[in-house]
């Protein structure tokens, strides 16, 4: 499809633009004294729980969906989702978040085969204060780019809409919500209209030595779907730890979510297991 090919080109160009400004910050690579390592891990744990922190991160998030209709099949989605902060003005930063999904999708009808490839790319941009107060916030646009390599893996539409995030971090908690709603603006006329909500609330409790307990389910609503079949609402828990290997800061976590509300449609799953490993690059501003 022509739209898909153009979408892939734009997505890779966008990733290149996001990587280029990394030099606007100086990476803090100094090794801390041994007695400060635990404190640094706890500080990093709070930063990774803030979606708009001044921190470069490259999470690799693997989502294993179980009980996918029909016939209780399995779907696997690896999300490559770099987050890059860029100085915008002396008062504001621009936080760039991209999600590039690699999907192994089972057949969604009983006689169809599955497919493997790239899904649609999500790109979200948050304008955030460089010196946040007690309440941390960010607003900006969200885009859905039709980069899917197969019709079964994407929408075939270019979509855009508003996004927002708000959170508080009273020690030892991090509590917040991130949401966006995208609407299709143009694309393949033969594909369905896009009007979908993504809402993620997150609650984390930080423990000593970089450990934490978390719940961060992703709720979705397809407003174009049949009434009574629009929402997917999961509940669950997970745990993680911030640690270092050869001075490389990492964040690993495992969680499980049950879709208590889900559409009775092909592609809906009963459970999701989420495994994540994020490469962290703490930053300090150049003076």
Please tell me the distance from the alpha carbon of residue 14 to that of residue 160, in angstroms, as a whole number: 15
Q: Looking at residue 33, what is its pLDDT?
A: 53
Q: How many helices (H) and strands (E) does the chain have?
A: 2, 16
With a pLDDT cut of 70, the percent of the chain lying above it is 85
Per-position DSSP letters for 221-245, written without gaps between them? EETTSPTTS-EEEEEEEEEEEEEEE
Q: Looking at residue 36, what is its pLDDT?
A: 58
Above 50 in pLDDT, residue 5? Answer: no
| Burial grade of 287 (CB within 10 A; 0-12, 13-18, 19 or more) | exposed
Q: Which residue has the tokens 């902060």?
A: 85
Above 50 in pLDDT, residue 17? Answer: no
State the sign of the Cα–Cα–Cα–Cα dihedral 195, 266, 270, 230.
Answer: positive
Residue-wise burial string across 26-54, b where 16 or more C-beta atoms lie within 10 A, e elsewhere: eeeeeeeeeeeeeebbbebbbbbbbbbbb
| Burial grade of 91 (CB within 10 A; 0-12, 13-18, 19 or more) | exposed
Closest CA to 265 of 230, 219, 217: 230
Above 60 in pLDDT, residue 4? Answer: no
Contact by Cβ (8 Å): 181, 162: yes
Please tell me the distance from the alpha carbon of residue 53 to that of residue 93, in angstroms, as a whole number: 10
Please tell me the distance from the alpha carbon of residue 61 to that of residue 76, in angstroms, as a whole number: 11
Cα 253 to Cα 80, 83, 124, 143, 243: the distances in Å are: 15, 17, 23, 27, 11
Give the pairing type, strands 92-105 and 218-222: unpaired
Neighbours of 12 (CB within 10 A): 13
Q: Looking at residue 26, what is its pLDDT?
A: 38
The confidence band for 113, taking pLDDT boundaries of 50, 70 and 90, is confident
User: What is the chain's mean pLDDT, rounded?
Assistant: 88
pLDDT tens by residue, 139-186 = 999 999 999 999 999 999 999 999 999 999 999 999 999 999 999 999
Q: Model pTM?
A: 0.85
Q: Looking at residue 43, what is its pLDDT?
A: 85
Of 13-22, 36-45, 121-130, 143-152, the least confident: 13-22
Above 80 in pLDDT, residue 56? Answer: yes
């Amino acid at each position: 499809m022509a739209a898909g090919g153009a979408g892939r080109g734009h997505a890779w160009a966008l990733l290149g633009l996001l990587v280029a400004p990394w030099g606007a910050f100086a990476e803090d690579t100094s090794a801390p004294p041994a007695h400060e390592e635990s404190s640094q891990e706890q500080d990093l744990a709070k930063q990774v729980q803030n979606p708009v922190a001044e921190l470069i991160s490259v999470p690799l998030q693997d989502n294993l969906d179980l009980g996918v209709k029909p016939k209780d099949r399995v779907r696997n989605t690896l999300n490559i989702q770099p987050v890059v902060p860029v100085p915008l003005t002396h008062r504001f930063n621009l936080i760039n978040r991209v999600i590039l999904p690699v999907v192994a999708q089972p057949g969604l009808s009983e006689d169809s085969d599955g497919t493997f490839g790239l899904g649609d790319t999500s790109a979200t941009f948050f304008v955030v204060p460089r010196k946040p107060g007690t309440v941390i916030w960010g607003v900006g646009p969200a885009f859905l780019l039709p980069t899917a390599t197969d019709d079964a893996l994407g929408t075939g539409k270019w979509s855009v809409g508003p996004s927002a995030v708000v959170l508080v971090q009273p020690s030892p908690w991090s509590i917040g919500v991130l949401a966006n709603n995208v609407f299709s603006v143009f694309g393949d006329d033969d594909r369905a209209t896009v009007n979908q909500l993504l809402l993620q609330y997150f609650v984390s409790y930080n423990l000593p030595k970089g450990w934490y307990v978390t719940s961060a389910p992703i709720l979705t609503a397809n407003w174009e779907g049949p009434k009574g079949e629009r929402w997917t609402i999961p509940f669950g828990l997970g745990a993680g730890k911030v640690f270092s290997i050869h001075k490389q800061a990492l964040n690993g976590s495992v969680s499980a979510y049950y879709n208590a509300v889900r559409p009775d449609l092909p592609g809906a799953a009963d459970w999701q297991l989420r495994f994540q490993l994020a490469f962290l690059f703490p930053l300090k501003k150049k003076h």
